[in-house]
Amino acid sequence: MHKFINGEVFKTLLKDGMKIHVGGFLTNGSPETLIDLVVESGVKNLTIICNDGGYEGNGVGKMINHGQVKKLIASHIGTNPDVGRLMNEEKLIVELVPQGTLVERIRAYGAGLGGILTPTGLNTLVQEGKEVIQVKGKDYLLEEALGADMALIGGAIADEYGNLKYRETMRNFNPMMATAAEIVVVEPVKVIEVIDPENVITPHPFVDYILGGEQDER
Amino acid sequence: MNDKQIIASRIAMELKDGDLVNLGIGIPTLVANYVSEDKEIIFQSENGIIGLGADQGEDCSIVNAGGMKASICKGGAFIDSATSFTFIRGGHIDITVLGALEVDQEGSIASWIIPGKLVPGMGGAMDLVTGAKKVIIAMRHTNKGKVKILKKCRLPLTAFKQANLIVTEMCVMEVKKDGLHLLEVNPAYTIEEVMNATDAELIVDEVKPMRGIENENNA
């Protein structure tokens, strides 16, 4: 399969100012090797979309630590004190989004929708600057779809065709992010010959590149 | 029983056989320890588990929504985050139990930000309190003497008018259309003591002793 690439090829795909989806939930299902390669590449001014801020020196926290991130879009940043500190020092812009809204905005982009209508966040700070739309007498917030230039996918068990399923709770944001970016790169936890078609979660057309070789960890 | 155990034990009595329940981090997590054995409760974890179980010490990649090691019960399912919030926002969760910084007599909740001080973010809390059929707030009655149960929340809201039941170590209160009703009081406190520790206006009709408290001296 042509989808398998090594770390050096991956680095050539990276550019300053990219908007990148990073899968994982508190680093469970986070593509740690791909994140290390982003750090090695030294690209700057990134916008990172991830459920959370990771931990200090773990998950997306590594890119934040190295000053590569201009903006973080996440639902929770409490586990990484660096994020709050950099935000207060005005070195990092943080946009906090309710978790269900965040994942649904990503899903909407992948599905070709302009946005979603959600009751979550009504009458809170989240509503600020957003349109309220009434449907059948009920209020909803209009939340825009959220795509990216690249998605970094972790926690996946890949097959040689590029199909993916996910290990246990490592699934989280990964399947939605794999539909919502120009370039989708997967760091598998394992590569097998073929996944039973009934068990495929992310079908191979969504996947552009897989880190590693076909012979890896078989 | 300490304050946290009193709160968790009382909330466990609200869970009905077959309920699908999401427990937040902190005191809410303890509720699972007090569910009586004759009830089958299915716990949902917003990172992607239907049938969350306690850590069994096995070598696996299963974590709960707090990022701590966990397990999955027989018959459970791993789900992605969009499906997880389909459960949560879509009204398929029977009960959610969460902590809060402040709650008010109209049922509004503040739990995700102290401007200028602490900004952990809302995580899944805003969706949970918006979508769950019943929202139970589990918290200490005051923050070291500082009132938390108010006429109107002062901190930025997590949700407007969504709490149904508030359980503290002192009492059980229910948010109804006409206001906040005092239902049960821990026998270790008087109604006056509860009112003095509360800024909200409490409606007091028929107050019962708070259930679920095991008095170790009498046991």
Kindly write down the DSSP assignment for every residue of B108-141, as one continuous string.
Answer: -EE-S-BTTTB----TTHHHHHHH-SEEEEE--S
Bridge-partner residues for A96, per DSSP?
A74
Of A28, A74, A78, the CB nearest to B61: A28
CB contact under 8 A, A96 and B121: yes
Q: Among the residues of B79-200, which ranges form H helices?
A: 81-89, 125-131, 191-196
Per-residue confidence band for A217, with pLDDT thresholds at 50, 70 and 90:
very low
C-alpha distance from B153 to closest chain A C-alpha (Å): 12
At A218 the pLDDT is 36
In which domain, by residue range, is B165 found?
3-31+93-209
CB contact under 8 A, A168 and B89: no
Provide the percentage of residues in chain B whose pLDDT is more than 70: 98
Pairing of strands B102-104, B109-110: antiparallel
Q: Does A25 touch chain B (CB under 8 A)?
A: yes
Q: What is the pLDDT of residues B74-111, one digit of tens each?
A: 999 999 999 999 999 999 999 999 999 999 999 999 99
Q: For residues A89 and A99, what is the distance between their CA atoms, to the nearest angstrom? A: 25
Of B49, B80, B122, the CB nearest to A75: B122
At B214 the pLDDT is 81
Q: What is the pLDDT of residues B118-175, one digit of tens each?
A: 889 999 999 999 999 999 999 999 999 999 999 999 999 999 999 999 999 999 999 9
At B27 the pLDDT is 95
CB contact under 8 A, A99 and B123: yes
Provide the percentage of residues in chain A whose pLDDT is more than 90: 95
At A177 the pLDDT is 98
Bridge-partner residues for A19, per DSSP?
A47
Instruction: Name the residue ranges covered by the structural domains of chain A.
Output: 4-113+145-211
State the average pLDDT over residues A103-110.
98
Q: Does A200 touch chain B (CB under 8 A)?
A: no
Provide the percentage of residues in chain B whose pLDDT is more than 90: 94
At B216 the pLDDT is 55
Q: How many CB pairs under 8 A join A and B?
A: 140
Taking a C-beta distance cutoff of 8 angstroms, is the pair B48, A171 a contact?
yes
Residues in chain B whose Cβ is within 8 Å of chain A: 45-49, 60-63, 65-67, 70, 72, 78-82, 84-85, 88-89, 112-113, 118-127, 130-131, 156-160
Strands (E), chain A: 4-5, 19-22, 46-49, 69-74, 93-96, 115-118, 132-135, 138-144, 148-159, 164-166, 181-192, 209-211
State the average pLDDT over residues A82-101.
95
Provide the percentage of residues in chain A whose pLDDT is more than 70: 97
Residues of A in contact with B60 (CB under 8 A): 168
Per-residue confidence band for B219, with pLDDT thresholds at 50, 70 and 90:
very low
At B218 the pLDDT is 45
Q: What is the pLDDT of residues A113-165, one digit of tens each?
A: 999 999 999 999 999 999 999 999 999 999 999 999 999 999 999 999 999 99
Q: For residues A90 and B217, what is the distance between their CA atoms, to the nearest angstrom? A: 56
Per-residue confidence band for A47, with pLDDT thresholds at 50, 70 and 90:
very high
At A214 the pLDDT is 54
Residue B64 lies in a domain: no
Taking a C-beta distance cutoff of 8 angstroms, is the pair A107, A173 a contact?
no
Amino acid at B71: S
At B118 the pLDDT is 84
At A1 the pLDDT is 55
Given a cut of 60, whether residue A71 has pLDDT beyond it is: yes
C-alpha distance from B127 to closest chain A C-alpha (Å): 5
* B97-118 burial code (b ≥16 CB/10 A, e <16): bbbbbbbbbbbbbbbbbeeeee
The rounded mean pLDDT for chain B is 95
Given a cut of 80, whether residue A2 has pLDDT beyond it is: no
CATH number of A4-113+145-211: 3.40.1080.10
Active centre residues of B (catalytic)? 46
Q: What is the pLDDT of residues A153-169, one digit of tens each?
A: 999 999 999 999 999 99
At B215 the pLDDT is 64
**CB-count exposure of residue B76 (10 Å: 0-12, 13-18, 19+):** middle
CA A183 to chain centre: 12
Q: Please report the sign of the dihedral spanned by the C-alpha atoms of residue B53, residue B59, residue B62, residue B68.
A: positive
Per-residue confidence band for B116, with pLDDT thresholds at 50, 70 and 90:
confident
Domains in chain B, number: 1
User: For position B147, which CATH number holds?
Assistant: 3.40.1080.10
Nearest-Cα residue of chain B relative to residue A81: B120
State the average pLDDT over residues A38-59.
97
